[in-house]
Amino acid sequence: MKILAIESSCDETAASVVENGRKVLSNVVASQVAEHKIYGGVVPEIASRRHAEAISGVVAKALEDAGCSLDSIDAVAVTYAPGLIGALLVGVNYAKGLSYAKGLPLVPVHHLRSHIAANYITHQDLKPPFFCLVVSGGNTMMVEVKDYTDFRVIGRTRDDAAGEALDKAARTMGIPYPGGLNMDKLAKDGDSTAFKFPTPKVEGCPYDFSFSGLKTSVINTIHNASQKGEEINKADLGASFMKAVSNCLIKNTEKAMLDTGYKTLVLAGGVSANSVLRHDVEVLCRNHGWKLYLPELSLCGDNAVMVGSQGYYEYLSGNVAGLELNAFAGKSIEENQQSAMV
């Protein structure tokens, strides 16, 4: 089964053709990073306009690279939530147009479900059930993946997502957008013990995260040094901050896995590309004898390959929408895709 997948939840316009949820026939991504870099972050209105300009060409290229036409496509999958609402609507409406014009099934795909599915492409042997740590710029949560379309969230951030905290700290440090990625590069030679940061806890909820305090702490460190006229080693500060964020993620993940009895850990989301986090989860799993699955670096960021993979399993589960499909800025990963209707 060949699925044409479309992703436009933030600042990447992407399309892909994926066969049977595991085989990538094409993967096309039009990035807007260079333009948003001017503003230090994604500008939603600009992102929406660029999606509208790029989507037709991106989809045509994906079909061309896959060596097929719309007549050989069996279904259209599209990210419908969560994300920037204007950006999502571009992809959703384009997918609806293709579905209507060609009489193809329309499959709504949750963005975070698809990030998890990126691992199905990287690891052909991976199958549910497993435990997943999802870490991105907009979301941080721990999820029990009971089946391909059956998810249970057991821990989540109460404020900032880990990626959001990294980006905001990077901006305060004067590191250019994308902050988290560039901080990772800068901090490779830094001393992760140079600065001490708190370990946030959510009282009564041992699985939940909080990164707002960590973000404030690094901002205060920078401001205090500035007021005293002191120079801060950015590599050391970045390394220390990333280690503090990773420690929070690792600590909660370890407790949750021990409590739930899972022996397989999957990492997903844009921040799964972070070198410190990848190293720390490897150490965690090695210490406990757990199996670890990491997404290929090229599939950590937003792409349509992961949408096509998850879309295949959503289709098999009967999660197909009509032209009433809407986009949502926020939507729980646990909700059945049928709730994607207006």
Taking 90 as the threshold, does the pLDDT of residue 340 lie above it? no
- pLDDT tens by residue, 148-203: 999 999 999 999 999 999 999 999 999 999 999 999 999 999 999 999 998 888 98
- Could you tell me if 207 and 154 are in contact, meaning their C-beta atoms sit under 8 angstroms apart? yes
Q: Which residue has the tokens 């920078």?
A: 222
CA distances from 108 to 74, 91, 150, 231 (A): 14, 11, 15, 50
Contact 307, 301 (CB under 8 A): no
Side chain identity at 93, as an amino acid letter? Answer: N
pTM: 0.95
Cα distance between residue 3 and residue 325, in whole Å: 18
The pLDDT of residue 318: 97
| Whether the Cβ atoms of residue 4 and residue 17 lie closer than 8 Å to each other | yes
For residue 333, pLDDT over 70 is answered with yes
3-class SS at 130? strand
In this predicted structure, what is the pLDDT of residue 233?
A: 96
By three-state DSSP, how is residue 187 classified? helix
In the chain, where the domains are located: 2-116+300-340, 128-298
The per-residue pLDDT of the chain, averaged, comes to 95
Output the pLDDT for position 222: 93
Which tens digits make up the pLDDT trace of 191-245? 999 999 988 889 899 999 999 999 999 999 999 999 999 999 999 999 999 999 9
pLDDT of 336 higher than 80: no
DSSP code for 299: G
Query: pLDDT tens for residues 20-55?
Result: 999 999 999 999 999 999 998 999 999 999 999 999
Percent of the chain whose predicted confidence (pLDDT) is above 70: 98
Q: In the CATH hierarchy, which fold is given to the domain comprising 2-116+300-340? A: Nucleotidyltransferase; domain 5 (3.30.420)
Structure tokens at 47: 């992102």
Q: Is the dihedral of CA 127, 128, 133, 139 positive or negative?
A: positive
| Predicted confidence (pLDDT) per residue in 89-115, tens digit | 999 999 999 999 999 999 999 999 999
Per-residue pLDDT tens for 108-143? 999 999 999 999 999 999 999 999 999 998 999 999
CATH number of this structure's domain 128-298: 3.30.420.40
Q: How confident is the model at residue 337 (pLDDT cuts 50, 70, 90)?
A: low
Residue 283 has pLDDT above 50, yes or no: yes
What pLDDT shows up at residue 342? 47
DSSP string, 205-272: -TT-B--HHHHHHHHHHHHHHHHTT----HHHHHHHHHHHHHHHHHHHHHHHHHHHT--EEEEESGGG
